[in-house]
Amino acid sequence: MGNLAYGLVVGLGCVVWGAGCGGGPLTTKVVDAPQGSSTAYGAPHDPMYSFEAEPELDQLRLHLYRSAHCDLIPTDVVARRTETWNGDHLVSSVDQGPVQIAKPATAEVPCDQGYARDVEVTLVVGNATHSLGTTDAHGYVGVNLSAELREKLFGAGIPPNAMVRVRGPKGQPAQEVGMLSLASLRDYETATMRMVEELNALLAKGADLSSPDIQKTYELYEKLRALAWYDPRVKAASARFWELFFARKQVESTQNLTRNLKALDAAKDLLKGAGVGAIPLFMQVAISSQAYDPRALDWASSELLTAIRAKPQLCSSFDWTQMQTYGFLPATQVAVQYLRFAQGDSFYGPIAGRCSFITRG
């Protein structure tokens, strides 16, 4: 019994004092094995706002977007493990998994693009300030243009431009985000009506459009898309345009589909290399917000249509899985991935007679 007790005491001494049993005291060290590098974004700061004017018949509507700046932080990725040693003897090794080690920021980049929700918007015309209201969940604010408001905004002697002022939520200070051309809004109705009538007359010809007619149709549609996308008259012409050129209605082709989020992830990756100015802001926001946006769908369709008209040999054999071999610009690749998200992988299914029509002119 006494010998057993003595053995227990010696064993405990090896564990507690670590001396004379394994060659030295217990030590711990962290070992990092390099695995690569990556880039991370810091927290958004310095929020900013921008807007697009989307006038309609008898209504002034603005679409507000938000963005910010983020630090660009390079990081090293390592496989970390913790080792325990007793002198020169390795007692244990515990893997901690991959760990990112941040380095000092190297630059600032735009980030956190989204719809400017719940911000107050005012219009400053000369010395007068007109409240337009608070934006909705998609960043929209608008007012009906009564006769009195028309006179205040577009009447004789009114300055040609107005300042758009935004006050963000949570007591943020007001920001002046840009000038709105009142002069161009005065001419909006006349120009829009003239081009809509001309486009509708061409679309009424249907499959009998000549090559010069098709080219003119493209030109008119692109101008109206830039000038008055949300005008109801332009929406109606747009529906007829895509039904004629892609042989189906865009709205119907987006119904009863599960959104392809993998395609949207691919579009997000492409955005990083496309350049800030290559993709319209509304498109960037639709992608980052995982939102189905009819305007984004229209832009994507137009990008693909333009690319195919430039390379008509692709029309009958286009396959999005082979897109990397086509030499498409990054903007066109983003467009294709958004079409996959909105309409499914079969968005460019075989349609008899389409190519002879699309590539004509």
How does the average pLDDT of the chain come out, rounded? 80
Greater confidence (340 vs 22) lies with 340
Q: Is the pLDDT of residue 293 over 50?
A: yes
Task: Provide the pLDDT for residue 110.
Answer: 85
Greater confidence (65 vs 150) lies with 65
Residue 172, number of CB atoms within 10 A of its CB: 13
The sign one gets for the Cα dihedral 69, 71, 74, 78 is negative
Query: Exposure pattern of 177-216 as b/e (b: 16+ CB <10 Å)?
Result: bbebebeebeebeeebeebbeebeebbeeeeebeeebbeb
Task: Provide the pLDDT for residue 1.
Answer: 42
Q: Is the pLDDT of residue 190 over 50?
A: yes
Q: Is the pLDDT of residue 359 over 80?
A: no
Query: Each residue of 123-147: pLDDT tens digit?
Result: 898 888 888 889 998 899 987 776 6
Q: Is the pLDDT of residue 22 over 80?
A: no
Residue 240, number of CB atoms within 10 A of its CB: 15
Domain edges within the chain: 188-358
Query: Each residue of 34-44: pLDDT tens digit?
Result: 998 888 889 99
Task: Provide the pLDDT for residue 51.
Answer: 92
Greater confidence (317 vs 276) lies with 317
Q: How confident is the model at residue 320 (pLDDT cuts 50, 70, 90)?
A: confident
Residue 266, number of CB atoms within 10 A of its CB: 19
Select, from the ranges 23-27, 59-63, 121-125, 342-346, the one with the highest average predicted confidence (pLDDT): 121-125
In this prediction, residues 337-341 reach a mean pLDDT of 88
Task: Provide the pLDDT for residue 66.
Answer: 92
